[in-house]
Amino acid sequence: MAEARGQIIVIDDDEGNRRSTEMALRKDGYDVVSFASGAEGLERLRQRGADLLVTDLRMPGMNGLDVLQQARAFDASIAVLVITGFGSVESAVDAMKQGADDYLQKPVNLIELRKRVAAAVEKRRLSQEVARLKKRLEEKFSFGKILGASSSMQQVLHLLSLVAPTRSSVLIMGESGTGKELIANALHQHSPRKDARFVAVNCAAIPKDILESEMFGHERGAFTGAVQRKLGTFEVADRGTLFLDEISELPMALQAKLLRVLEERSFMRVGGTETIHVDVRFLAATNSDLEARVASGAFRSDLYYRLKVVTIQIPPLRDRPEDIPLLLHHFFSNFKEENSRPDLVFDSEVIEALQRARWDGNVRELRNLAESLVVLAPPGTNRIRLEDLPENYRVSESALAAQSRPVPPAAAAPPRTMDEIEKDAILRALEQTGGNRTRAAEILGIGLRTLQRKLREYGQPGGEDGAG
């Protein structure tokens, strides 16, 4: 028996219309079930699902708009075709605004019905196939929630897969907005410690005078205001993962204490005398040049090398434009679902423009842009066009070319004379040859006597050869 072209639910309180619609669609190879009420049709949808829902708008009890809303709440991707009474165009417009894919007016032309149904079912099938392909792409080019198809990000993803199952300390480096905490979280979630705590501490966000207490905890009475014992992040993260963000901002005094914890896995609370042992995996991140801070004495070299057992360098988004479509579609899909805008799509010019943007804020900036485009898209539209982008993202290729043109001569240094250029070339050639005039003349493509004459003009005695 041939497989049905699709599963269709027909809802109409008029038995004659319902039966004729059902029969016409069955002849085209669809698996069709019909019901006289919206409640019955929706119950079947919840139990078995469907590709398309054909519903009359005017029905006693639950009307077609109610059916549409509840069907979409259950399955946002289901195709819906509504049947309206003759001349009730306003009702059809309302249905389309609320998410119907198409509508037909009574009396229904069965040939037209079959054409519209075929188009709606095919649209749903294509949508499902696109969703499957996107899921496969994300699985192929992802590690947890980290996405990247570029060669640089593929190297990062490969490194993550190798280091995640271990207990090695990892130093994550990258510009602000590249997703350092997301990577730290992914390392934790793919490690044997995933069922324990992941604790993140931003070393730059906590005042220095309370950072020690936050990290190590304190005993009651250790200082003014310490009215009870407090556990620090090291204890809270025991058997789990501790992520120290902006590690470059850690005060020098705490750097020495952190080094001891890294080496001995033990510490004392502020104001305490008891040594506490912990089993914690340490991850750290920074957007600063730690080597430069070590060289300047602002960061301990022994702590630096203890933290960077494995270093993961996240490339900035501007250096991997091929990742932008993948990331954009990922964020866009999430925000479409959150804001009930499933039909929104991008024009190709939008993606091309975004691939040319600077992205000083990196992936965080792209995520925020995707959210604003969905939230600000006018009701009734289903396309994000180039003109919908903020002006700073609508840079044309001609404008980019203009930005990269050389500085005009008027803005450059004053031009030199030919004699000055010639003298500079001769002296550079002599410098390159260690003063060997014969070799210099060969490089310059002139005779040795000409070179000697020029040197006399420059106040340098000529000679037969050699460096003297």
Mean pLDDT, each 10-residue run in order, the chain (468 residues) = 79 92 93 94 94 92 90 88 78 80 89 92 82 61 77 92 95 96 94 95 91 93 89 94 96 93 93 93 95 94 94 96 91 90 87 93 96 90 90 66 47 54 75 79 75 80 46
Confirm whether 105 is domain-assigned.
yes
My answer on whether 353 and 394 are in the same domain is: yes
Interhelix angle 151-163/180-189, rounded to 10 degrees, is 40
Confirm whether 104 is domain-assigned.
yes
Confirm whether 327 is domain-assigned.
no
- For the domain that residue 192 is a member of, what is the CATH number? 3.40.50.300
- Residue 359: CB atoms within 10 A of its CB come to 24
My answer on whether 182 and 303 are in the same domain is: yes
My answer on whether 298 and 380 are in the same domain is: no
- For the domain that residue 342 is a member of, what is the CATH number? 1.10.8.60
pLDDT score, position 94: 80
Confirm whether 61 is domain-assigned.
yes
Burial of 14 (0-12, 13-18, 19+ CB in 10 A): middle
pLDDT score, position 58: 87
pLDDT score, position 464: 44
Q: At residue 321, what is the residue type?
A: P
Q: Supply 419's token pair.
A: 């004699």
Number of domains present in the structure of the chain: 4
My answer on whether 148 and 110 are in the same domain is: no
My answer on whether 192 and 303 are in the same domain is: yes
Contact yes or no for 142/304 (Cβ under 8 A): no
Three-state secondary structure call for residue 25:
helix
- Structural domain boundaries enclosing 451: 406-468
Distance, in Å, from the CA atom of 16 to the CA atom of 24, rounded to the nearest integer, reads 12
Distance, in Å, from the CA atom of 294 to the CA atom of 303, rounded to the nearest integer, reads 10
Question: Where a domain ends, among 368, 403, 438?
Answer: 403
Confirm whether 183 is domain-assigned.
yes
Q: At residue 298, what is the residue type?
A: A
Distance, in Å, from the CA atom of 410 to the CA atom of 413, rounded to the nearest integer, reads 8
My answer on whether 303 and 347 are in the same domain is: no
My answer on whether 151 and 290 are in the same domain is: yes
Q: Which residue has the tokens 């289901």?
A: 78
Confirm whether 76 is domain-assigned.
yes
My answer on whether 82 and 128 are in the same domain is: yes
My answer on whether 149 and 269 are in the same domain is: yes
My answer on whether 412 and 398 are in the same domain is: no
Confirm whether 236 is domain-assigned.
yes
Residues 381, 386, 389: CA angle, nearest 5 degrees: 85
Q: Supply 369's token pair.
A: 């842009």
The structure's pTM equals 0.59
- For the domain that residue 56 is a member of, what is the CATH number? 3.40.50.2300
Q: Is the dihedral of CA 145, 175, 246, 253 positive or negative?
A: positive
Question: Where a domain ends, among 132, 163, 192?
Answer: 132
Three-state secondary structure call for residue 172:
strand
Q: At residue 72, what is the residue type?
A: R
Q: At residue 350, what is the residue type?
A: V
Q: Supply 44's token pair.
A: 């079947």
Question: Where a domain ends, among 111, 132, 153?
Answer: 132
Confirm whether 286 is domain-assigned.
yes
Distance, in Å, from the CA atom of 163 to the CA atom of 183, rounded to the nearest integer, reads 12
**Of 7, 320, 319, which Cα lies nearest the Cα of 150?**
320
My answer on whether 120 and 23 are in the same domain is: yes
My answer on whether 166 and 307 are in the same domain is: yes
